[in-house]
């Protein structure tokens, strides 16, 4: 056996998730066939990656290890993640790097707008890390990004996926005033799983956030999503649907939770496609204008096509 000793490096590589390093491995069952996707290797994927890197941007597609990155980037659909690549929360399900983030990049809104233009996006999705270190949680930066995209790409529709702005009074109002076309905030899971899955968040605060958007501006579409396979019961998922409809949420997404590493929360169960189809049928019956429920459903997957269907559904309902 040969032992290599590094006598050159002066600093150690920081773990991506330092809070999880000493946790025991959480073992998930093998992935079923319906979960598997192809590795990204197309020309469209390469072109999208080049534009993202040239503009110094971060995408949730990469940071969260989205299984749909190959399909979306081949079509030049990327979800931009603003305010850095480091999150102040440490959710048990998320693969985004955790720690203390750096300062905001004042030029980032313009860079996002320029990348939106270069990719020719008719519909763009912008999300972010949680920035509990900022007085407004990054609300002003979100609003600036929306306005920058509007100025550079006036025909592009804008969907934002925001943090919860917990204990950030007035932050939501700043973001809503920028008038995104879709305001998305994910509940992520059922209330009983919050302590283990999303300990830094509060279920009813997130629900109230979505309800407040509608109170501020009823014309903004609202959207939320949950993951299944984290140990929730069916009746709990149905209760989340009722809670979201009480908050007048228009669009619901339901997808399978996939474990990023063995230090993250284990997959408790892989939900088969027929159960997703059942959830979709029930959600439509409860009054959602748009529902996307499948093993590989993610918040921004097919967002452009879904937005067109969402507008059509609202128009049909108002006749």
Q: What is the pLDDT of residue 76?
A: 66
Residues facing 255 on adjacent strands? 227
- From first CA to last CA, the distance across the chain in angstroms is 76
CA distance 270 to 267: 7
39: phi then psi, degrees, rounded to nearest 5? -70, 140
Rg over alpha carbons for the chain, rounded to the nearest Å, is 20
For residue 39, the 8-state DSSP code is P
| 71 and 36 Cβ atoms separated by less than 8 Å | no
Residues facing 225 on adjacent strands? 253
CA angle 118, 123, 128 (to 5 degrees): 85
pLDDT under 50: residue ranges of the chain: 1-6
Q: What is the pLDDT of residue 66?
A: 76
184: phi then psi, degrees, rounded to nearest 5? -115, 135
CA distance 303 to 306: 5
- Global pTM reads 0.90
Q: What is the pLDDT of residue 59?
A: 79
How buried is residue 8: exposed, middle or buried, by Cβ count under 10 Å (0-12/13-18/19+)? exposed
Name the one residue in this structure whose structure tokens are 């669009």.
Answer: 251
Q: What is the pLDDT of residue 114?
A: 95
Name the one residue in this structure whose structure tokens are 């059942």.
Answer: 278
Q: What is the pLDDT of residue 7?
A: 53
């Amino acid at each position: 056996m040969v032992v290599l000793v590094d006598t050159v490096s002066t600093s150690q590589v920081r773990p991506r998730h330092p809070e999880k390093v000493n946790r025991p491995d959480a073992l998930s069952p093998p992935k079923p066939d319906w979960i598997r996707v192809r590795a990204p290797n197309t020309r469209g994927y390469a072109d999208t990656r080049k534009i993202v890197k040239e503009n110094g941007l971060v995408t949730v597609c990469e940071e969260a290890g989205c299984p749909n990155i190959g399909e979306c980037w081949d079509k030049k659909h990327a979800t931009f993640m603003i305010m850095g690549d480091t999150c102040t929360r440490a959710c048990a399900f998320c693969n985004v790097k955790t720690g203390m983030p750096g300062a905001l990049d004042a030029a980032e809104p313009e860079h996002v707008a320029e990348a939106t233009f270069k990719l020719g996006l008719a519909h763009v999705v912008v999300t972010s890390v949680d920035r509990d270190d900022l007085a407004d949680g990054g609300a002003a930066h979100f609003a600036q990004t929306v306005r920058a995209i509007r100025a550079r790409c006036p025909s592009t529709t804008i969907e934002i996926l925001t943090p919860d702005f917990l204990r950030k009074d007035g932050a939501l109002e700043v973001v809503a005033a920028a008038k995104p076309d879709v305001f998305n905030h994910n509940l992520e899971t059922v209330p009983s799983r919050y302590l283990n899955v999303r300990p830094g968040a509060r279920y009813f605060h997130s629900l109230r956030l979505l309800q407040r958007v509608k109170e501020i501006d009823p014309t903004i579409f609202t959207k939320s999503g949950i993951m299944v396979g984290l140990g929730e019961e069916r009746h709990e998922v149905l209760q989340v649907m009722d809670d979201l409809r009480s908050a007048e949420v228009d669009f619901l997404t339901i997808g399978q939770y996939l474990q990023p590493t063995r230090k993250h929360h284990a997959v408790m169960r892989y939900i088969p496609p027929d159960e997703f189809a059942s959830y979709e049928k029930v959600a439509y019956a409860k009054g959602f204008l748009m529902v996307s429920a499948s093993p590989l459903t993610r918040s921004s997957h097919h967002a452009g096509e879904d937005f067109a269907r969402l507008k059509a559904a609202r128009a049909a309902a108002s006749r």
